[in-house]
Structure 1
Amino acid sequence: MAGGITEMGEPYSPYVGLVYMFNLIVGTGALTMPKAFATAGWAVSLALICILAFMSYMTTTFVIEAMAAANAQLRWKRREQEAVKDSDSSDYSDDEVIVRGRSEPLEARPILSVQRGGSSPDQFDIVERVEMGQMASLFFNKVGVNMFYICLIVYLYGDLAIYAAAVPMSLMEVACGNHSCSAGSVKYNDTDLCWGSVKRKDAYRVFLTIFTLLLGPFTFFNAQKTKYLQILTSVMRWIAFSMMIILALIRIGKGEGQGRPPAASFSGIPNLFGVCVYSFMCQHSLPSLVTPISDKRRVGRLVLADYALILAFYSLLSFTAIFCFAGGDLRDMYTLTFTDSCHALDAAPLRYFLGLFPVFTISTNFPIIAVTLRNNWKSLFHRDGGTYPWVVDRVAFPLITLVPPVVVAFCTHNLESLVGITGAYAGTGIQYIVPASLVLLSRRHLEPALGRGAVNKHRSPFRHTFWVGFVLAWATFCLMFVTANIVLTETKPKN
């Protein structure tokens, strides 16, 4: 995610890019939305998800503009370096260059001194993949770069904790649930027995231990997601999502819908905010996603279409869920609503499929996220020209990557809270604060070099500085609101 410059990669059409972005955004985080919708109320949820979709779309256009600006700055830096090399081979001394017909010391020459009349829209072509970490290095000061990496690391820790809890919980439900339907629907809690004298919470920890032992070692090595594995997990994801939507619609059509969600319940808004922010997250992966698109002239319209489709899909998934199932029947992870209720789904093979669906899809992502987090730790403490001792590189960094999220997963498997906290804090930084800061500072960096007449052809439709300030103010308000609610909830006397 956060790294240096790489090649553009295998190009693909804009419509393939649309599909990739759709698949990237609509992940397992969507499975926590129905419960959050039921808790906050249907009217409040619909209004908030529309606002958050708009805000996320705006910051996505900010990142794309910053990517183009980064490409332009790197392109001009290379030209400057070539100009310096040419001047070194001339008749003048090594420490002088010719500027406007006179000799000047090299250290007095601007880093990005260019002929402003020679700028063209092509200089903003996005032809190199510049990850967010590299953009932060280009446009932020040292403090800003460190803050970016800390924010990204916290977000990745939250991701790993969610993954580490979701897989064992799904395995526990499959192993300990009622799949014969002989006893009807049964509601369980963590202290109920799973098999023999083993309680459900102990079975969860057993599965978490197995999960850690099987996938944890990948943190110590490099792992790459293959193309065919992506295709397989995408197909499984869409079969599962479509199945849940269709099953809920069938029950509602038969008049069996039991959901009576309130229009508004403001106590559920903070968690809904975190869940929705998490479910619209794609900004950190945009460089890898947008750069290979062969024709970027329509990338802005495709991004807008993607967000409209995703908003419609989230609304359909969540509204069919909250009007089909009573609030108490909805689980933190929506697939579990079907796997532990024979009334919801009486076909055992389909219940097994939905129960194991998060296991396969999340397990393939866990090593990738872990390696990404490990590499970002290395980048944060990187020393120019220095290398890490073997023990630090191969043991210490993987351990500080793996241990904290596993410990969190051992302590709690409340996915709704994990997703809400991760999205509300680290997600706000990655999705709002970083893109707004990148686009603002990229404009300030390029104007002295390229001149005010240079126009970024990938500039955001929200090009006025007001929108940058609006996003930063929105992010600040959201953080204050969520924090105040958490404090009030913790200090509220319990009956």
Structure 2
Amino acid sequence: MLDLSSSSSMPRSAAAAVKTYSPFVGFCFIINYIVGTGFLGIPYVFWNTGVIAGVATLVVISMAIAIPAIWTLEVMARAQAIDDVDSSRVQADSEMKAVFRIETDRHFEVSELCRIFLGRVGGAVYLVLILIYLFIGQWLTGPVAGTAWSSNLPLNFGTFRQCSQADFNGVLHPSDGCWNSYALCILFFAIIVVPLSCLDLKEQEIVQVTLSITRFVVITSIIIYSIVAEVKGYKGHESVDPPPNSTVKEHVLGFKMNGFLATLPVVIYAQMLHVAIPSLVQPINDKRHLGRLFWLIFATTSVIYGVLGVTAAVYLKYSVNEQCTLNWADTTSSGHSMLLRVYSYFVVIFPSLDVLSAYPLGAIIMANMVEYLFTGNPRVQSGRFFVTVNRFVWATLPLICSVYLSDLVELDKFAGLPAFCAAFIFPAFLQWRSVKMCQNRFGTSITPYTSRWVSGFGVVGVVFAFGVVITIATFVSFFLPHSLA
């Protein structure tokens, strides 16, 4: 067999040159990437699916989406073994075993993994689908910041006017003075996130950890607020009369297929990270327990989403907004205590602050994929100038688009289709092909992340079928009414 041990294949100088961080910092980076703006719609779809049914859907989806994430780690380790042989980093020795691992000085984007195990066509198809998904995902963050800031900042001077939520309903972009304020807020957002996108992940360590802690604090405060307000019967938010023949019990214990079909893309989008896994795990200095780290991450996000969805949905009931934080705009007006008004402003503005941490990660991942597309060789080390310009371009273009198009409801739906391919279908193909290739080439395919519970071909088939079914179900939901009430 072949000796693929890390000690013989990674030069100390190369390893030392790579900036790394601890598993805890890696946990914060990955949580920041997952818990972006996806959680905003959880209470809304829970209420309109059935709260208990929504929790069950979240649990099933989270387990289904965690398994392909573990497969991605396995595939990266197998690709490293193949790369060691093909690049002649190790010498053949029939008496030594193959050792699969993820190195710090070698970066595999998922598009490259597809090219290795699925061929050029597979890699090209994946790259196109994911670039579309990532670009639309980045595009969506612009309106999140622009809408929140232009609606809450007193921009009333010259040709500028403070916006209201009505300015953004059913239009491509706001008009007149509101559009000027909206565009100015997008510019403010760009001034913050574009420079961050040009930095390496290690250089963002303090920012990412701080925003991760802030995110947990805000989400926890919304949960506590909803519980206390529901127990005390506080009705500070605008109430909406229930539809005829609709009861709270029905929304908590019942099940609505229309809402369920809308829940699938929302929950999957909220847990989606597969395309970012190589970029996020490469700098982690201790990769021995990455599998456990990912299970912990998905368990953490599932608990956060579940508790938030249940408490906010039960408290807000029929008035729950598609973006749940907008419900706190009702308590920013005079007539409420100053403390409540300050808190409510912070909750409303929070999503735009939240994407400050996720946006640079998305821009870096897009730039890495485009760099691989142009170089075609992962061993080509681009200069710092090219890397910076590449990241600048892909951090700027989505924000320019968001200035001229802020109504992205339908685009968000279509962005889900390539996301399902990235989360379920392509990982299943990669797992199957990488196992077959390594067994044929090395006589084994077992990596440090392989588990008999999730790595077998039976599980691969189930997840693949699951991905196909929910893709079809989501396509069907395109033809259903947008409102679930």
Question: What TM-score does the superposition give when structure 1 sets the normalisation length?
Answer: 0.75
Candidates 300, 323, 327, aligned match of 1:337 = 327
Residue number in structure 1 paired with 2:135? 157
Is 1:455 the counterpart of 2:446? The answer is yes
Is 1:222 the counterpart of 2:195? The answer is no
Separation in 2 of the partners of 1:131 and 1:345? 51
Candidates 342, 348, 352, aligned match of 1:359 = 352
Residue number in structure 2 paired with 1:241? 219
User: Bigger CA drift: 249-258 or 428-437?
Assistant: 249-258
Taking a change above 3 Å as real, the CA distance of residues 133 and 279 of structure 1, as seen in their structure-2 partners, is: same
Tell me the CA shift for residue 473 of structure 1. Answer: 1.4
Amino acid at match of 1:67: M
CA RMSD of aligned residues (A): 3.9
Amino acid at match of 1:243: S
Separation in 1 of the partners of 2:77 and 2:355? 32
Candidates 166, 190, 193, aligned match of 2:167 = 190
Tell me the CA shift for residue 42 of structure 1. Answer: 1.3
Tell me the CA shift for residue 67 of structure 1. Answer: 1.5
Is 1:73 the counterpart of 2:47? The answer is no
Tell me the CA shift for residue 419 of structure 1. Answer: 4.5
Q: Which runs of at least 4 in structure 1 moved beyond 6 Å after TM superposition?
A: 217-221, 383-386, 392-401
Q: Is residue 168–residue 407 contact of structure 2 (8 Å, CA) maintained in 1?
A: no
Separation in 2 of the partners of 1:368 and 1:21? 10
Residue number in structure 2 paired with 1:209? 183
Q: Is residue 36–residue 355 contact of structure 2 (8 Å, CA) maintained in 1?
A: no
Separation in 2 of the partners of 1:191 and 1:152? 28
Taking a change above 3 Å as real, the CA distance of residues 230 and 403 of structure 1, as seen in their structure-2 partners, is: closer
Separation in 2 of the partners of 1:201 and 1:324? 35
Residue number in structure 2 paired with 1:251? 229
SS of the aligned residue for 1:190 comes to: helix
Amino acid at match of 2:295: L
Separation in 2 of the partners of 1:164 and 1:286? 24
Q: Is residue 278–residue 419 contact of structure 1 (8 Å, CA) maintained in 2?
A: no
1:71-110 to 2 correspondences below 5 Å: 71-78=80-87, 80=88
Residue number in structure 1 paired with 2:160? none
Residue number in structure 2 paired with 1:127? 103
Question: What TM-score does the superposition give when structure 2 sets the normalisation length?
Answer: 0.76
Residue number in structure 2 paired with 1:56? 65
Separation in 2 of the partners of 1:75 and 1:284? 23
Amino acid at match of 1:301: R
Taking a change above 3 Å as real, the CA distance of residues 348 and 485 of structure 1, as seen in their structure-2 partners, is: closer
Separation in 2 of the partners of 1:125 and 1:115? 19
Separation in 2 of the partners of 1:66 and 1:298? 16
Q: Is residue 172–residue 200 contact of structure 1 (8 Å, CA) maintained in 2?
A: no
Residue number in structure 1 paired with 2:341? 348
Amino acid at match of 2:321: R
Tell me the CA shift for residue 396 of structure 1. Answer: 11
Separation in 2 of the partners of 1:270 and 1:340? 29
Amino acid at match of 1:132: V
SS of the aligned residue for 1:311 comes to: helix
Q: Is residue 34–residue 321 contact of structure 1 (8 Å, CA) maintained in 2?
A: yes
Is 1:465 the counterpart of 2:457? The answer is yes
Candidates 234, 245, 265, aligned match of 2:256 = 265
Separation in 2 of the partners of 1:414 and 1:81? 48
Q: Is residue 173–residue 336 contact of structure 1 (8 Å, CA) maintained in 2?
A: no
Q: For 1:237-271, what per-residue CA distance to the aligned partner results, in whole angstroms no more than 9, with x for missing partners?
A: 22221221111111112134779335222112232
Amino acid at match of 1:42: V
Q: Is residue 117–residue 433 contact of structure 2 (8 Å, CA) maintained in 1?
A: yes
Gaps of 5+ in 2: 1-9, 156-163, 243-247
Larger Rg: 1
Q: Is residue 428–residue 460 contact of structure 2 (8 Å, CA) maintained in 1?
A: yes
Residue number in structure 1 paired with 2:269? 278
Q: For 1:179-224, what per-residue CA distance to the aligned partner results, in whole angstroms no more than 9, with x for missing partners?
A: xxxxxxxx963389xxxxxx97656533442244455587699344
Taking a change above 3 Å as real, the CA distance of residues 445 and 66 of structure 1, as seen in their structure-2 partners, is: same
Residue number in structure 2 paired with 1:45? 54
Gaps of 5+ in 1: 84-113, 178-186, 193-198
State the number of aligned residues. Answer: 431
Is 1:481 the counterpart of 2:473? The answer is yes
Separation in 1 of the partners of 2:390 and 2:277? 30
Separation in 2 of the partners of 1:371 and 1:21? 14
Separation in 2 of the partners of 1:434 and 1:75? 24
SS of the aligned residue for 2:331 comes to: coil
Separation in 1 of the partners of 2:363 and 2:94? 44
Residue number in structure 2 paired with 1:318? 309
Q: Is residue 229–residue 315 contact of structure 2 (8 Å, CA) maintained in 1?
A: yes
Amino acid at match of 2:325: T
Q: For 1:137-190, what per-residue CA distance to the aligned partner results, in whole angstroms no more than 9, with x for missing partners?
A: 32221111111111211111121121011001111331379xxxxxxxxx9633
Separation in 1 of the partners of 2:402 and 2:175? 14
SS of the aligned residue for 1:124 comes to: coil
User: Bigger CA drift: 260-269 or 315-324?
Assistant: 260-269
Q: Is residue 215–residue 366 contact of structure 1 (8 Å, CA) maintained in 2?
A: no
Taking a change above 3 Å as real, the CA distance of residues 191 and 401 of structure 1, as seen in their structure-2 partners, is: closer
Residue number in structure 2 paired with 1:232? 210
Tell me the CA shift for residue 400 of structure 1. Answer: 8.3
SS of the aligned residue for 1:118 comes to: coil
Percent of paired sites with the same residue: 20
Is 1:287 the counterpart of 2:297? The answer is no
Is 1:146 the counterpart of 2:140? The answer is no
